[in-house]
Amino acid sequence: MMILEGDCFDLIKDLPDNSVDLVITSPPYADIVNYSSSVSVKKPDEYVDWLLPLFKEIHRVLKPSGSFILNINDNCKNGLRNTFIYDLISRNNKETKLKLYDTYIWHKKSGIPNGSKKRFRNMTEYIFHFVKNQKELKFYMDRVLVPASDNFKKRTKTPVGHQGYFKDGERIVELKNWKDYDLVRPDNVFRFSTASASRDNTIRHPAPFHKDLPCYFINLLTDEGDVVLDVFSGIGTTGISCNELNRKYVGFELNPKYVEFSRKRIEGNLTKQYTINQYDLKDNFIRSWKSITEIENTLGFDSHNHIEDCMRKGNKTSYGYKWKIELDEYRD
């Protein structure tokens, strides 16, 4: 496992050609300002020009059998949806040698609430799959098959062209490979949780993804011992996934706080030590909690995000209470 501190646009130039099996990353989203002072936040109208040079380098370092998985999302301004993501995909096809292989949707099981009365809840993000050579692509469909639904099994009970025979009024079909119908290909909508569903984000990274996301694609697109690169390593979630699946990990990260945190996290040298205190609206103490998950399970709240917003973004109240992290850090 290797996490390098620095600008990924510079660090990737030191990697040899055809040396990486999988690049999986989620770049800083446009207009999000709290990645730290060391990260230059890009506006939608400059985002594509900023990111495309990195795409060209990713193509260079990918092996012919490799893939590039990009998790990204757009935003709204003045009541309208920005189109820079579509510009990014279109210009990539014209200006780089990366090939758009497929598009997936991440349906977030616990998305961010939306206060607009004229806009639906924001529960999805984009995942784009690029390749260097689709004919040599590693892709292990058998590893991600899902159980067939009862409706699917009913529909396939009598395959086309196989009428079977009737016995006591019931159609009987003898299939030698009935087990083939127990597992089917998944659809292209992935139902991963957000990171807050399993981890209290005390490091305050603004947009972490759940480790299920990189685990899925690492399992689908690589073999044990392969090299996985995350050019925006963040707090090391992709590295955690590589550890679990026995892949070699290389991460690039500009924020020194994230670098130190992720190195310890991947090595398993972190212990969360913090307390969430609950107050009423008159600042009277009610009780302490160990985690947002404990609060949610005990009080029956249906989302982490309200309480997280209260603690991390300065909102005054959530669910009719005030919340405060008294000790917000990880220690060795």
Question: What pLDDT shows up at residue 151?
Answer: 74
What per-residue string of b and e applies to 241-251 under the rule 16 or more CB within 10 Å gives b? bbbebebbbbb
Which one-letter amino acid corresponds to residue 37? S
Q: Which two three-digit tokens encode residue 318?
A: 């959530």
Which pLDDT score, from 0 to 100, does residue 35 have? 44
12 and 99 together in one domain: yes
Could you tell me what percent of the chain has a pLDDT over 90?
Answer: 44
What gap in Å lies between CA 79 and CA 40, rounded to an integer?
25
248, 276 Cβ separation under 8 angstroms: no
pLDDT of 198 strictly over 50: no
- pLDDT over threshold 90, residue 245: yes
178 and 80 part of one domain = no
Residues 33 and 108 in one domain: yes
Task: Tell whether the model's pLDDT for residue 140 goes beyond 70.
Answer: yes
Q: What pLDDT was estimated at residue 161?
A: 47
Question: Looking at the 3D structure of the chain, how many domains does it have?
Answer: 3
- Domain check: are 122 and 250 in the same one? yes
How many C-beta neighbours within 10 Å does residue 12 have? 22
* Sequence letter at residue 143: R
Domain match, 117 and 190 both: yes
Distance (Å, rounded) from C-alpha 1 to C-alpha 16? 17
Q: Are residues 34 and 166 in the same domain?
A: no
High-pLDDT (> 70) share of the chain, %: 73
One domain, residues 168 and 41? no
Residues 46 and 77 in one domain: yes
Better-predicted residue by pLDDT, 300 or 133: 133
Same domain, 166 and 304: no
Query: Residue 54 belongs to a domain with what CATH number?
Result: 3.40.50.150
- End residue of a domain, out of 131, 160, 184: 184
pLDDT at position 85:
94
Last residue of a domain, one of 158, 184, 210: 184
Name the pairing type of β-strands 2-5 and 248-253: parallel
Residue 134 has pLDDT above 90, yes or no: yes
Query: Which residues is 167 bridged to in the sheet?
Result: 170
Q: Which residue has the tokens 């990274």?
A: 205
- Quote the CA–CA distance of 176 and 185 in Å, as a whole number: 20
Note whether 79 and 157 are same-domain residues: no
pLDDT, position 31: 66
CA distance 193 to 189: 13
Q: What is the CATH number of the domain that holds 294?
A: 1.10.10.10
Question: For 126-156, b where at least 16 C-beta lie within 10 A, e where not — what string?
Answer: bbbbbbbeeeebbeeeeeeeeebeeeeeeeb
Q: Share the mean pLDDT of the chain.
A: 81
Q: Tell me: do 135 and 170 sit in the same domain.
A: no
Q: CA–CA separation, 307 vs 293, rounded Å? A: 11
* Domain shared by 46 and 158, yes or no: no
Q: What is the span of the domain harbouring residue 310?
A: 273-331
The closest alpha carbon to 242, from 270, 273, 272, 221, belongs to 221
Tell me: the pLDDT tens digits for 264-312?
A: 888 876 655 567 888 888 888 898 887 777 887 888 776 556 666 665 5
